[in-house]
Amino acid sequence: MSSAIERLNEKLATIIDLNAATAVLGWDQHTYMPAGGIEARARQLTTLSSLAHEYFTAPEIGNLLTEAENAPGLDPAGEDAALLRKVRREYDQSVKLPAAFVQEHSEASSLCFDAWTRCKPADDFETFRPHLEKMVELTRREAEYLGYAEQPYDALLNKYEPGMPTRQVASLFAEVRDGLVPFCQKLFAKADQVKDDFFFTHWDHDRQWALTLQVLEDMGYDFKRGRQDISPHPFTTDFGIPDVRVTTRIHTDQFKAGLYGTIHEGGHALYEQNVDKRFDRTFLAGGTSLGIHESQSRLWENLIGRSRDFCNYYWPVVKALFPKNMAGVSREDYYRAINRVEPSLIRIEADEVTYSLHIFLRFELEMELISGTLKVKDLPAAWDERMEKYLGIRPDRVSKGCLQDMHWTDGSFGYFPTYALGNLYGVSILDTIRTKHPELLTGVADGSFLPLKEWLTDQVYRHGSRYTAGELIQRITGRGLEAGPFVSYIKTKYSAIYDL
């Protein structure tokens, strides 16, 4: 007779396969699916997720889980316990929500998303307002169902960054914010120090594509176990450890979006591709939290990809591929242009310095919406005011303000913070490398990233969800997550670029 955990893993494999199938259908939808397929695809995805939910929440899973948790000899610090902890968390999250609530949430999300797709281009907040109010109300109820230690927002954050209390995030973010806002004002005052207008000329599509493939290859992305395609919004998806795919977009009227979209997704993909094979088709495959995942995409995109060594190495490559665009652009010009900072209204266009401020604004506003101190009707004004406070600019319309993102339309409150947590985790990890293993970075100037990739594999990737984000960062850096290193990193790098 096999053990409870073996029987549990066998049952869970069906759910993992269903989720993989869902991911394939999603990948296809965003890459190759013809327009006519959209309605049938939505039905197929609904069927697959309903089946996965039905299988996952079956009492049999709950019973096996309890049996495995209580099995004699279970090492609380071992892999089995880590697996059970992960399954328990997801199982409880699934069974705590009543079916009627899930149905209501799903329908309201569809309506809210649909309203958003119409209201954003029309800059019509009033029509969108009741839908968002409904999502806020549903999210509050969701938090009550899920439970929390200190405040409802804890329950939401826990969906994406398990074990991280709101209190801690608020404190970390406040420290970064208070360091960056005045620093940004100094940078903006010297905006004309850095030019990047040559990035906004005509850049050949096919050569950009070739460059993104080359950089992925250089990063150590394994094309035998993945591929890159084009989609309107870049993403990474996987159908098991041996098939991890990325997408990018290529705009011919600018240069940075394609290359840095690829490097960002490439960072996510290196994580997924290098999880220990033993974890394939188990709940321990896949990154441990969205924040840690984002730390890897941002480490490659920003900490490595926008570093002087990286830019120095690729400058001649870019010159060779795009001689006309790069005529007269020196190594220094290129590096500085890659790192140009400017206040922007749109999060996804923001640079390495201002990006986190876009997140803090959202984090603060969504906490206030959930706690009720901010009413939805007052959101646009609150948004614009805070944007002026942090970045010195005000949107002149809601499509460039509080209607720009889709995250809230399906109730993903608690998701935004993980982007900025990724920046903090990333710099903490980079600081450890700089202090203890500086030799890992020496290859960057020669386009040799493999020692770094191997170390990240050993420290982060191979563990999958074996450790929580908190455990992992403690193991790597020897301390908990801190805000200081990120602020220092930004100030040091950009003071040099902007001659402060």
Q: Which residues are annotated as catalytic?
A: 265
Helix or strand holding residue 244 (H, E): strand 244-248
Tokens representing residue 147 in the block: 């439970």
Beta carbon of residue 16, minimum distance to its own copies (angstroms, whole number): 9
Task: Report if residue 458 touches its own copies, rule: CB under 8 A.
Answer: no
- Return d(Cα 70, Cα 430) in angstroms, integer: 39
Among 163, 179, 240, 484, binds its own copies (CB under 8 A): 240
Beta carbon of residue 213, minimum distance to its own copies (angstroms, whole number): 14
Among 11, 21, 89, 193, binds its own copies (CB under 8 A): 21
Q: Binding-site residue total for its own copies (CB under 8 A)?
A: 39
Q: Residue 60's Cα: distance from chain center in Å?
A: 33
Touching its own copies, residues 251-290 (CB under 8 A): 280-281
Indicate the SS3 state at residue 325.
Answer: coil
- Return d(Cα 30, Cα 40) in angstroms, integer: 14
Q: Residue 267's Cα: distance from chain center in Å?
A: 11
Of the listed pieces 31-39, 66-74, 201-209, 434-442, which binds its own copies according to CB under 8 A?
A: 31-39
- Return d(Cα 84, Cα 4) in angstroms, integer: 11
By C-beta, is 34 or 232 nearer to its own copies?
A: 34
Indicate the SS3 state at residue 493.
Answer: helix
Among 3, 6, 40, 144, binds its own copies (CB under 8 A): 40
Beta carbon of residue 79, minimum distance to its own copies (angstroms, whole number): 21
Beta carbon of residue 38, minimum distance to its own copies (angstroms, whole number): 8
Neighbours of 93 (CB within 10 A): 17
Among 6, 10, 28, 253, binds its own copies (CB under 8 A): 28
Task: Report if residue 200 touches its own copies, rule: CB under 8 A.
Answer: no
Among 67, 229, 349, 410, binds its own copies (CB under 8 A): 229
Task: Report if residue 226 touches its own copies, rule: CB under 8 A.
Answer: yes
Exposed/middle/buried for residue 1 (C-beta within 10 Å: 0-12, 13-18, 19+): exposed
Helix or strand holding residue 121 (H, E): helix 99-122
Touching its own copies, residues 156-175 (CB under 8 A): none
**For helices 290-298 and 469-477, angle between their N-to-C axes, nearest 10 degrees:** 50
Touching its own copies, residues 93-132 (CB under 8 A): none
Tokens representing residue 182 in the block: 């005045």
Task: Report if residue 454 touches its own copies, rule: CB under 8 A.
Answer: no
Tokens representing residue 211 in the block: 């460059």
Contact 500, 341 (CB under 8 A): no
Total length of the chain: 500
Residue 165: φ, ψ to 5°:
-75, 150
Tokens representing residue 271 in the block: 């994580």
- Return d(Cα 26, Cα 462) in angstroms, integer: 26
Among 227, 319, 407, 434, binds its own copies (CB under 8 A): 227
- Return d(Cα 484, Cα 500) in angstroms, integer: 19
By C-beta, is 145 or 209 nearer to its own copies?
A: 209
**In degrees, to the nearest 5, what angle opens at C-alpha 72 toward C-alphas 69 and 74?**
60
Beta carbon of residue 243, minimum distance to its own copies (angstroms, whole number): 3
Task: Report if residue 230 touches its own copies, rule: CB under 8 A.
Answer: no
* Selection from 330, 402, 327, 321 nearest residue 369 by Cα: 402
By C-beta, is 141 or 249 nearer to its own copies?
A: 249
Task: Report if residue 224 touches its own copies, rule: CB under 8 A.
Answer: yes
Among 10, 13, 397, 495, binds its own copies (CB under 8 A): 13
By C-beta, is 242 or 372 nearer to its own copies?
A: 242
By C-beta, is 200 or 223 nearer to its own copies?
A: 223
Beta carbon of residue 53, minimum distance to its own copies (angstroms, whole number): 13
Beta carbon of residue 284, minimum distance to its own copies (angstroms, whole number): 16
Beta carbon of residue 151, minimum distance to its own copies (angstroms, whole number): 40
* Selection from 193, 182, 183 nearest residue 498 by Cα: 193
Q: Which chain residues interact with its own copies by CB under 8 A?
A: 13-14, 17-18, 20-21, 24-25, 27-28, 32-37, 39-41, 43-44, 47-48, 51, 222-227, 229, 239-243, 245, 280-281
